[in-house]
Amino acid sequence: MSDQHDDHFATRLSHLGRPGTRTHGFVNPPLHRGSTVLVPSTAARREGWKHRYDQYLSYGLHGNQTHHMLEDLIADIEGGTRCQIVSSGLAANCIGLLAYLGHGDHCLIPDSVYGPVRSFCDSVLAGRMAVEVSYYRPDLTPAGLEPLLRPNTRVLYLESPGSHTFEMQDVPALAALARQHGLKVLMDNTWGLHFFQPFDHGVDVSIQALTKYAGGHADVLLGSLTTRTDEDWRAVRQTALLYGQYASPDDCWLTLRGLRTLNVRLRHQMASGLEVARWFAARQEVLRVLHPALPDAPGHGLWKRDFSGACSLFGVVFRPEFAEARVDAMIDALRLFGIGASWGGFESLALPTYGSITRTASSPDLGGPAVRFHIGLEEPSDLIADLAQAFDRLHARPA
């Protein structure tokens, strides 16, 4: 058999994670559901239980072939070797932190971290487990980060670009510093997905909300933790199982199905996203567009150096003279954009972020009210026409 890792991304998405000849020729895997796994003897039972932290069929909670096929495919997409699927992206974030942190440890979290992760850090890690949590400016250089290290620092957590505010991080430089000091480097790589290869840049554990582009159809909630080493995989898998983490096989199956079209969706949405982002950038009502692939955007140099593409999620900052109520009215006037959380599906979304950004190490002020846009699979010219009509509301006197 040729080495499948030599195949291009598009080819691997089509060929990996398939059941081979085990399903009488059907291309897609069967959907396995179940709790009890029967074994032929008491001895087999004792032997099997020893392997419950392996990718082994011992009990439903420990995963079945549907989970394992998805795990192997995700590990491949991220350039890692092993993966653990959990029930949501947020569960993956939390399990990753819990795998390496305990009473008295210290961790470093970017100020631009996904909001629910901040809540977890504040209420569970700091609030109940006596873990010291420091938030740092996401754009810190290694020289700026070094003074924040303590003798008990165990984890450097990264997310690039940041949630809502899209700051880019110098991942390889920060990860190199962390490694020198023996820290584990965890990264939420949901935005980068395949475009950022975390293990080429010093990351130990890469976290994905598969809910987003991997699922791709706004119909599943799922998360993953991918590792380069077997040791890290065991640490996250054991933690996931100790916490009773389980992912629905139906959602795993749907995500395997979603992944077959990931490459075409991503490429299409990247192009559409850039087209709409450029339209925003040319409008006089707009102060800045927070899209790392635009040459004027903050962090563009890092994106160009480290990423091979961009997804279709970005921010738009309106000039401060447009009050939040007017921006609200603009969003409410959109016909083709839904108002809602999450992203990565086929549908376009607009989400006001003013009033919902918490920052403790940097300023939440972007210079004006900001809206997060997700560009779906609609025709970009239709989306632009819709935005153009809604922009009239920015100038209308409020009713």
Ligand X SMILES: *Cc1c(COP(=O)(O)O)cnc(C)c1O
Exactly one of 64, 66, 88, 353 binds ligand X (CB under 6 A); that residue is: 88
What's the DSSP call for residue 148? Answer: G
Q: Which is nearer to ligand X, 297 or 390 (CB)?
A: 297
Least distance (Å) between residue 246 CB and ligand X: 14
Contact 353, 164 (CB under 8 A): yes
CB of 163 to ligand X, least distance (A): 5
The residue to which tokens 């909630």 are assigned: 221
* Strands 82-86, 223-227: pairing kind: antiparallel
Comparing CB distances to ligand X, the nearer of 81 and 342 is 342
Taking CB under 6 A as the criterion, the residue among 84, 211, 239, 348 binding ligand X is 211
- CB of residue 243 vs ligand X: minimum separation in angstroms? 15
Which CB atom, from 93 or from 226, has the smaller least distance to ligand X? Answer: 93
Cβ-closest position to ligand X: 89
322-327 long-range CB contacts below 8 Å, 24 or more apart?
322/285, 322/368, 322/369, 322/394, 323/369, 324/352, 324/354, 324/355, 324/369, 325/398, 326/393, 326/394, 326/396, 326/398, 327/352, 327/354, 327/369, 327/371, 327/394
Q: How far is the CB of 118 from ligand X (least distance, A)?
A: 11
Give the nearest distance from C-beta 342 to ligand X in angstroms. Answer: 6
If one asks whether residue 209 binds ligand X (CB under 6 A), the answer comes out as yes
Q: Binding to ligand X (CB under 6 A): which residues in 299-338?
A: none
Shortest Cβ distance from residue 196 to ligand X (Å)? 12
Letters for 160-179 (x = contact with ligand X by CB under 6 A, - = none) are ---x----------------
The two tokens of residue 118 are: 């901040």
What does the block give as tokens for 260?
């077959």
- The DSSP annotation for 195-230 comes to TS-GGGGT-SEEEEETTTTTT-SS----EEEEESSH
114 lies in the site for ligand X, by CB under 6 A: yes
How many secondary structure helices (H) and strands (E) does the chain include? 14, 12
Nearer to ligand X, 166 or 233 (CB): 166
Distance of alpha carbon 234 from alpha carbon 221, whole angstroms: 23
CB closer to ligand X, 120 vs 136: 120
Which residues have a Cβ under 8 Å from the Cβ of 30 and sit 6 or more positions away? 19, 23, 65, 66
Residue pointed to by tokens 């992944």: 259
Give the integer Cα–Cα distance in Å for 15 and 304.
29
Q: Is 15 left (phi over 0), alpha (psi -120 to 50) or beta?
A: alpha
Q: Residues binding ligand X: what is the number (CB under 6 A)?
A: 13
Nearest to 99 by CA among 58, 151, 138, 154: 154
Choose between 90 and 259: whose C-beta lies nearer to ligand X: 90
Instruction: Assess 223 for contact with ligand X (CB under 6 A).
Output: yes
Q: Which residues are CB-neighbours of 397 under 8 A, at least 6 positions away? A: none
> At residue 214, what is the residue type?
A
The C-alpha atoms of residue 226 and residue 213 are separated, in whole angstroms, by: 16
Nearest approach, Cβ of 283 to ligand X (angstroms)?
A: 26
Q: Which is nearer to ligand X, 163 or 169 (CB)?
A: 163
Establish if 251 lies at the interface with ligand X (CB under 6 A): no
The CA R_g of the chain, rounded to the nearest whole Å, is 22
Going by C-alpha positions, the residue among 156, 164, 153, 178 that lies closest to residue 110 is 156
Applying CB under 6 A, the span of 83-91, 118-126, 149-157, 246-254 interacting with ligand X comes to 83-91
Check binding of 158 to ligand X (CB under 6 A).
Answer: no
Binding segment for ligand X among 82-90, 225-233, 247-255, 372-380 (CB under 6 A)?
A: 82-90
* Shortest reach from residue 103's CB to ligand X, in Å: 25
Report the nearest approach of ligand X to the CB of residue 63 (Å): 18
Identify which range of 22-30, 87-95, 293-301, 351-359 contacts ligand X by CB under 6 A. Answer: 87-95
Closer Cβ to ligand X, 159 or 232, answer by number: 159
Q: How far is the CB of 92 from ligand X (least distance, A)?
A: 7
Binding site for ligand X (CB under 6 A): 88-90, 93, 114, 163, 188, 190, 209, 211, 221, 223, 342
